[in-house]
Amino acid sequence: AQSVTQLGSHVSVSEGALVLLRCNYSSSVPPYLFWYVQYPNQGLQLLLKYTSAATLVKGINGFEAEFKKSETSFHLTKPSAHMSDAAEYFCAVSFTGFQKLVFGTGTRLLVSP
């Protein structure tokens, strides 16, 4: 069965520091991979997605993620954190034709001044 693991339920960084949120998936076939962000009391917003094109995917708000098949990973990064990046981040996987997103447990990003 497909699954997604996000390491670290909380990640704390200082403003201006590198953001790294980890996501690993288990799958026997190449998946589609997504990162969503959820701000407090709001719905989920798509940050970026990987759909078997370029392995380095750029998203909104300066975020990017790299698909590494050998490591079954899709980690999310941002070179310099901003206070407004504080939110819950979800990695998700889907497979063509299944139309079902399987989410990781989420990582809360805390940004301190």
Rounded to 10 degrees, what is the CA torsion of 69, 4, 7, 20? 50
CA distance 97 to 6: 24
Asked if 103 is part of the footprint of other proteins (rule: CB under 8 A), the reply reads yes
Q: Which is nearer to other proteins, 43 or 113 (CB)?
A: 43
How far apart are the two ends of the chain, measured CA to CA in Å? 41
Q: Which is nearer to other proteins, 13 or 102 (CB)?
A: 102
Dihedral (CA of 78, 82, 84, 85) sign:
positive
Q: Which is nearer to other proteins, 48 or 111 (CB)?
A: 48
Stretch that binds other proteins, among 20-28, 52-60, 66-74, 94-102 (CB under 8 A): 94-102
Asked if 61 is part of the footprint of other proteins (rule: CB under 8 A), the reply reads no
Is 29 in contact with 95 (CB distance < 8 Å)?
yes
Asked if 17 is part of the footprint of other proteins (rule: CB under 8 A), the reply reads no
Stretch that binds other proteins, among 18-26, 36-44, 57-65, 77-85 (CB under 8 A): 36-44
